[in-house]
Structure 1
Amino acid sequence: MLQVTLLHFPFSGYTLQLANQLVNYVDLTFIHSEKIYSQYKDFIDPRIHIIKIEKPRIRNPRNIFVMSAIMRMIREIKPDVLHVQENNDPWYDLMLLGNTMPPLVTTIHDVFAHPGDRDLIPGTQYTRKIAYYRSQRLIVHTNLLKNALVQQFHVPSARVNVLPHGELGSLFQSFSGKKIQEREPYTLLFFGRIWPYKGLKYLIQALPLVAEHIPEVKLIIAGQGENIDHLLQATDKKYYELLSGFILNEDVAPLFQRSTAVILPYIESSQSGVATMAYSLGTPVIASNLGGLAEMIRHEEDGLLVEPRDVRGLANAIIRLLSDTQLQQKIQKAALIRCQQDLNWSNIAAQTVDVYQKVAIK
């Protein structure tokens, strides 16, 4: 059986879902931080070999010793393939320069930094390029990202594989238990990091237009990032509910289940875990027609697409969806079918193993 070591830094939910299916195909060792393990330990398949590390904050120079220790672990394991989820840790990137690596597969969730994302780790936009060239294979979630790697970073096309971003709702449903939250017929949800590229201001501007037709409308804004009080100054408080800060894992699924629609008014997008979460939790998506969102969402089938920054168009789409229960049910059904097909983790794991076999030590 193929021996694979999976190392990850962010994207914990994604990586856990993938790991729990990969173990059906490979002998899997999973290296991650003690903090991440404490959050997800109850949901990790017991067949996976776990190695926990104490990972300091990113700006702590002790990271160089941690990364050295990780490299020693990898040399001792001698995996056929090392799979790294994202490379936004400059300490890891620099280690790639000075170490002989096993065949390396890297999943890149975002090729470029998002505009206005103040969580960006200084220097990462330069060091992460090292992994583009040291990896035998790269995995991305959209053709948009593949084209960026090929055209702007001159990565050979044959080395870049496009695999779907799997659904995340089932994991967060497990955190919240079997209790199903009653859906509120006129409630919208904006979920995730709140930075300018997410386009929240356009959704807030659309809210009064929606309220003219549907006075019961309410927007839940749940996430952390920039202070948005200035965006809400002119909005009546009865039209929104602000949950500012980190949303606990057990509170995620109920937010989606409360809502009749998830709104993604982004002005830039590489892919979206929020959309896949909505799909598997039965909440229809209205999103901007751009980037990775335009690739993932099938307009008028499993979601609705509107032009970015189009406040009136966004309002009209929301009014249409909230007013049409048959359309809601049609989108829900199509999205759930997607979760059983291309967004299914077992299928994604099998495709990932195909990538491993192309680079594995013979």
Structure 2
Amino acid sequence: MKKLLQVSLQKTGGGAIDSLEWSNAFCQNDFYHQVFISSGNELLKRWEDNDLRKVAQIDTYGSSFSDFLRHTLILKRPLLMMKKIFNFRPDIVLVTHYHPWIIFILLSRIFLRFKLFYAVHENPFLQKENNNSIFNFTEKIFFKLADCIIVHSSFMKKQLEVYSNKELKLVPLGSYPSLFPGFSRIEHKEFNLLFIGRIESYKGIDTLIEAVDRLVATGMRLKLTVAGRGNLGDNLKKKIQEINGNLLNYWIDNNEIKRLLSVADVLVLPYKAASQSGVISMGLACGIPMIGSDVGGIPEQIRDGFNGLIFKAGSVEDLSAKIVTAYDNNDLLKKFSENALSLSSGYFSWKQNVAQFLKSIDLK
């Protein structure tokens, strides 16, 4: 059997949970592999060695750019990671998320000549809102030199075909059942709308707040919670106060995400641009009805009329209408919840999709 090394050095958010779901799915498919994760991974306690998985913790760097430069240029930690790669001598290295130190994986390949698989979550050739030219440049190099690109939506596959003549494999972004064990929804009186995630302008929070503002003005009893760190702007903060909403403007840990989802009637993703969304993966695993915009891969995850509703991105009128539909139809929300859980264990099952992935590359 070929030897696979999975590498994910991201510490938090989607990077942390995606890598855990990938590895759990390998185990569920009886496939032995080794994993490199950051010693600062927020889900570190959930990583355990077993008969099918051996985990190595990699010391990386802190959150500051100066710390990144210090530990990268000194080379001690990257070289220790390379030594571990040489000791394992993998046939395939799967990188589940971009990290600046994946450049050292490329250096290792000069000597070991393993095949390199890279899961791309955002198009590295498009301008990002929070752009770092060094990281963006190294990711483009990594993309070009990878033997196989893995994408998590048909939208991304079509978009990236323009930039690569290499094989692109679609592995749908699975739901996150491992993130919230024992999750259950809690009964409550208010109709709760929830936005959760990093706050950036492309997320369309202004559209959501304006839609809720208009509906509250008509007498609808809605409660909007916007949760995530980032710069929202004074005008939008003021509007949230005016509609008696909740603004949790800081990093939301998994325990608080679990609490917020447990009382959410509808999870709203008003994005103006997107590839796919890990927030939707949370919603699917928890059976939360969702309203999302018609951009990128969102309609692949939220199937209009099945597990949620789709509205025209940027349209306050259309989003308002979809919120009214959800507000007025409890039976519809119940159906959306049931169908979300069905998708979570079916089309968006990591076990199922990783099994197909293994078969497609002749590893199992």
2:140 matched residue in structure 1: 129
Query: Are 2:71 and 1:62 equivalent residues in the alignment?
Result: yes
Q: Return the offset for 1:356.
A: 4.0
**1:96-245 → structure 2 map (5 Å cutoff):** 96=106, 99-100=109-110, 101-112=113-124, 117-118=129-130, 120-151=131-162, 153-156=163-166, 159-168=167-176, 170-174=177-181, 177=182, 180-245=185-250
| 2:45 alignment partner, one of 16, 41, 47 | 41
- d(CA) in 2 for partners of 1:125, 1:44: 32
SS at match of 1:35: coil
Which amino acid counterpart does residue 7 of structure 1 have in structure 2?
V
| CA contact 2:7–2:36 (8 Å) conserved in 1 | yes
Residues 210 and 316 in structure 1, CA contact (< 8 A), matched pair in contact too: no
> Residue 333 of structure 1: which of 333, 338, 345 is its match?
338
Q: Which amino acid aligns with 1:290?
A: V
Aligned partner of 2:312 in structure 1 is 307
CA contact (8 A) 1:187 1:260 kept: yes
Cα offset for 1:136?
Answer: 1.6
The TM-score with structure 1 as length reference comes to 0.89
Q: Deviations over 1:47-70 (max 9, x none)?
A: 421111111135323225222322
Shift of 1:340: 1.3
Q: What's the TM-score, normalizing by structure 2?
A: 0.89
RMSD, aligned α-carbons: 2.3
User: Secondary structure of the equivalent of 1:350?
Assistant: helix
* Conserved? CA contact 1:94–1:127, under 8 Å: no
Answering whether residue 279 of structure 2 is matched by residue 274 of structure 1, we say yes
Query: More relative contact order in 1 or in 2 (CA 8 Å, sep 6+)?
Result: 1
Candidates 41, 49, 58, aligned match of 1:53? 58
How far has the Cα of 1:215 moved from its partner? Answer: 3.2
Q: Distance in 2 between matches of 1:206 and 1:217?
A: 11
- Quick check: 2:48–2:55 contact (8 Å CA) kept in 1? no
Out of 53, 64, 71, the residue aligned to residue 82 of structure 2 is: 71
Structure 1: gaps spanning 5 or more residues: none
Tell me the equivalent position of 1:3: 3
**Distance across 1 between alignment mates of 2:55 and 2:148:** 24
Q: Which amino acid aligns with 1:138?
A: I
Q: Contact 1:145 / 1:270 at 8 angstroms: preserved in 2?
A: yes
Contact map agreement 1:218 1:240 (CA 8 A) in 2: yes
Matched, 1:18 2:22: yes
What is the number of equivalent residue pairs in this alignment?
350
Residues 211 and 317 in structure 2, CA contact (< 8 A), matched pair in contact too: yes
**Equivalent position SS for 2:179:** helix
Structure 1 letter corresponding to 2:106: L
| Alpha-carbon separation, structure 2, partners of 1:356 and 1:69 | 29
Residue type at the aligned position of 1:172: L
Go from structure 1 to structure 2 and tell me whether the alpha carbon gap of 1:346 and 1:94 turns closer, same or farther (over 3 Å shift): closer
